[in-house]
Homo-oligomer: A and B are copies of this chain.
Amino acid sequence: MTDTLSTAARTVSAAPVATPAEPAGTHAPVDAAALIADMGRRARAAQRALAQATPEAKTAGLMAAAAAIRNAVPAILAANAEDMAAGRARGLTGALLDRLALDEGRIAGIAKGVEDVARLADPVGHVMEEWDRPTGLHIARVRVPLGVVGVIYESRPNVTADAGALCLKAGNAVILRGGSESFRSSRAIHAAMVEGLTSAGLPADAVQLVPVTDRAAVGAMLAASGLIDVIVPRGGRSLIERVQTEARMPVFAHLEGLCHVYVDGAADPEMARAIVMNAKLRRTGICGSAETLLIDRDAAPRMLAPIVTALLDAGCEVRGDEAVQAVDPRVVPATEEDWRTEYLDAIISARVVDGVSGAIDHIEAYGSHHTDSIVTDDQATADRFLAEVDSAIVMHNASTQFADGGEFGMGAEIGISTGRMHARGPVGVEQLTTFKYVVRGQGTLRA
């Protein structure tokens, strides 16, 4: 069984892009657990080799992968056309079809993303700390790859290259499981990547794509603790929820970004208005966009009306408590549910709170521990907010839209984690590593 699957899986990596005669996701039923176990074992073997690869070898491999993607534009476009046709036939919505669609420009963007990752500093081997002990031992904490990363994603085929490149840069092997809508596109991108990586001498099994779109494969990945060290889900709420519930290994993810901006009584009114507008409206569909405005009771008489009016005038729906409703008849009454809702749209909930304590209590009660910001000119109040709000990212006088690995200087991110363990906040190449202790003695014995 294992041998058969192994061969089948290997074939897919090297196989030509799906032809119309071989529609995606209609392979004969497979034993998903055995398939993932075999991929996991091969990933582990590839990872051992990859962990010892020089920085130059990984950079060269990724540059070759990017070049192979550029060379594969016709094949990728052909595969994508099939995905799009199948999607239209299945009645996918315009937004989903847009996420799925590739053109020459988007493929060039994917290749450039891989090149950007290739040029990042290599985290592996970095000495994080070192010290000497009275016993004569020298101890160093050294970055090493995390191991095998599982990435489960939905309709965006670019994740194939983005996530694959980032994991590989950190010395990890990766098992990618793309959504059925974009399977042919992902397979074409993956085939090009593997061609590039192997041409540069890196193992083909370093970046594997699950060759079936069976939903059972997701369950098998989530159960494969010992084979897969960490799972990164990329997609909608139901996917994240399923992964967080079922995974038998750590997960780097956020279920939602229910981000708050608190405008303190000691805020500069113009700064407050500008930050709220940027945090909510610069882009409404990203996890760092603000969903709730909290305003200090003391500040409300002076600052509430200008902010709420600016939001409404910009086309943003405002759902407010009574004080907010009193500002403008266009304000909709907020319900309890609104404080718990991530709109990802031009809608904001707004309420008056009793100072920074009230803001902290609201955020701890309703927030998602993603990103929360205070606007104030009072340093002590800011310090209290920054200390007491228990979120991955806390901000002072800055827009929550900065919650992003690129904006943090990490170069690229595979996502943002609201978990407390290991990687919290943006997950970049460094967060995809772990460490080990390297201890050097001179025949040192313990007394």
Contacts and interface: CB of A to CB of B under 8 A. Distances in A.
Interface of A: 48, 51-52, 131, 133, 135, 137, 139, 144, 146-147, 229-230, 250, 268, 271, 274-275, 278, 282, 364, 375, 386-388, 390-399, 401-402, 407-409, 420-422, 424-425, 434-446
Given A393-B437, A421-B421, 19 more contacts: A51-B387, A133-B407, A135-B402, A137-B398, A137-B407, A146-B421, A274-B445, A275-B445, A386-B438, A390-B436, A391-B436, A395-B440, A395-B441, A396-B439, A396-B441, A397-B442, A397-B444, A398-B444, A399-B445
A37 to B, nearest CB: 17
A446 B282 contact: yes
A395 B401 CA distance: 45
A436 to B, nearest CB: 6
A230 B396 CA distance: 30
Given A396-B439, A424-B436, A139 B271 contact: no
13 contacts: A48-B364, A51-B388, A131-B409, A139-B408, A282-B446, A393-B439, A395-B439, A398-B439, A399-B445, A399-B446, A401-B446, A402-B439, A425-B436
A409 B440 contact: no
B434 A387 contact: no
Contacts of A407: 133, 135, 137, 446
B278 A446 contact: yes
Q: A144, A408, A445 — which one has the most chain B CB atoms within 10 A of its CB?
A: A445
Contacts of A274: 443, 445
Contacts of A421: 146, 229-230, 250, 421-422, 434
Nearest to A387: B52
A436 B389 CA distance: 10
A424 B420 contact: no
A369 to B, nearest CB: 9
Given A443-B268, A446-B401, A436 B394 contact: yes
A422 B425 contact: no
A337 B446 CA distance: 29
Q: A278, A395, A421 — which one has the most chain B CB atoms within 10 A of its CB?
A: A421
